[in-house]
Amino acid sequence: MYTIRTVADFAAAHYLTHYHGKCENVHGHNYHVQVWLKGETLDEGGMLADFGCVKQCLKQIIAPLDHSNLNDVLDFAGDPSAERIARYIFDKMQATLPHFSIKPELLSAVDVFETSTNMARFENV
């Protein structure tokens, strides 16, 4: 099995409406995103997927989130947790990868780090 990963970063503000504590106040993070693809076969060039295409796809998806208030994104339903952000990016990647000639079923996981020690993952199981 082959696995590749690419990363990108974005900065955004958010608050959690169903959380009681300091995170219910508006605050920001420098999010670090890791996208993982996994597959058993390589293309004729010996690659699972072109790193540049995967990174371009990811950057296209996170661009609208960068320097935004994530609570304004309807998909997060007022609670843009790291878990929901990971699922959002996963779903958008799966829908967009074919535009970069990459099979969507290769997408295996998306990790979203709010800090260097706190991360949420959504994965294809």
Tell me the catalytic residues.
Answer: 23, 67, 114
Residue in 93, 92, 94, 106 with CA at minimum distance from that of residue 43: 106
Give the integer Cα–Cα distance in Å for 38 and 34.
13
Give the integer Cα–Cα distance in Å for 107 and 122.
11
